[in-house]
Every structure is written in structure tokens, then in C-alpha cells.
Structure 1
């Protein structure tokens, strides 16, 4: 096994872990803002790590260029969509849970 295959496996494992933990965070967190934070951060970083692993395996080819374009698209649209959803929720009157509202 060569070094780039090992590094690719590590990146794939880290990206998969982040995506799994983000999914669990969406299910476990109490309000829309913390759920959106869990989904937005881990989804963007997990997908980027997986795409970087695939880029390592692709080598210099047209596939690498396509993966780079997908990565750029994800880096632009992921945070933008999270911000738009948070702003829409805030304007709709949804307030974040703070202090005593978190205690049950």
C-alpha cells in the first residue's frame, strides 16, 4: 500500500466520521439553530475530506478537475445555505434555546 492510498483511507475515515456525527447531531440537538450548526459544519468538512481523498486516488486526470469543481461548489453553497436557513428561521420568529429554556 502506497502512502497516498493510506492518506486517502485516513481522509475517507475522518470524513465518514464527521458526516455520521453530524447526522447524530441533527437528531439529538434541541433546536433548529444548533441542528443547523451540526449539519452545516460537519457536512461541509466531511464532504471536503472525502473529496480530497478521492482527489488523491484520481491522480492527474480529468476526474481530478471535476472533483475540484465539485469541492469549490460545496465550499460556496454549504455555508451559504446554512446562513440562509438560519436567517429565514430567525425572521420567522424562531428563537434559539438559551439558559433556563434548555433545562427540563
Structure 2
């Protein structure tokens, strides 16, 4: 039975490492910040969680498992917040990028439909 657990742990660690590697390649290869943000947030976090799951399986019965669980929980809690903040900053900095101005047009269209409201200035 120990061999089955070892194979399962090794598989999880290898899949996690593969996902983390694809995230690193995406960060290097994608052209702009918004595209890189996707590669940095999603596959990297899932890859790290898979590596942690593999380590927990391998270290079953050890006291250090709780530290790995805490690392996984904090990563899952902070990664979406960081990605959201980076995405907002990148959107503000790249307003002239092709396709992003459509979202800005929706904001202006909404303000034209409601003449009683003033058009908001740029948010900082």
C-alpha cells in the first residue's frame, strides 16, 4: 500500500511542477501584463497546490503537514487578491491597447444614458 501512496505523491508533485513550469513559460512568452497575469495566477497556484498535496501524501503522519496546509491556504487566499490588484493597475496603464477601450466605452455610454449624473473623472 505504501507504493501506491508514493506513486500518487510523485504524480501530484510532477503534475504540479509541470503546471508551474508552464506558468513560468507563459510569464516569459506572453506579450503584455494582462496576459502574463493570467499565467502567473492560475496555473502557478494550482501547480503549487498539487506539489503541496504530493508532499502531504508523502509526509503522512509527520508534524510538518500542518505547515504545508497553511502555506496552501494562504496561497489560495492571497493569489486572487494580488491578481486582481495587478489586473486593475495593468488595465489603467494600458487603456490604449486594442480591445480594452470597449470597456471604457461602456462606462461612457452608461453615463450618457443617465444625464443627471456627472461623468466621473479618472480614478487613482
What's the TM-score once normalised by structure 1's chain length?
0.85
Give distance in 2, aligned partners of 1:97 and 1:77.
30
TM-superposition CA deviations, 1:5-59 (whole Å, max 9, x none): 0001101110111111111111111111011101111110010000000000111
Runs of 4+ in 1 over 3 A off after TM superposition: 95-98
> Does the Cα contact within 8 Å between 1:26 and 1:38 map onto a contact in 2?
yes
Aligned to 1:80: 81
Count of residues in correspondence between the two structures: 97
Give the greater-gyration-radius structure (CA). 2
Map residues 55-66 of structure 1 onto 2, 5 A cutoff. 55-66=56-67
1:60 positional shift: 2.6
1:102 — aligned with what? Answer: none
User: Matches of 1:20 and 1:61 in 2, distance apart?
Assistant: 28
Structure 2 gap segments, 5+ residues each: 100-124
Q: TM-score, normalised by structure 2?
A: 0.72
Counterpart Cα distance in 1 of 2:44 and 2:63:
25
Structure with a larger share of its residues in helix: 1
**Cα drift, residue 61 of structure 1:** 3.1
> How far, CA to CA, are the matches of 2:11 and 2:40 in structure 1?
22
Give the root-mean-square deviation of aligned CA atoms.
1.4
Gaps of 5+ in 1: 99-104
Per-residue deviation, 1:97: 4.7
Partner of 1:101 in structure 2? none
Which structure carries more relative contact order (alpha carbon 8 Å, separation 6+)?
1
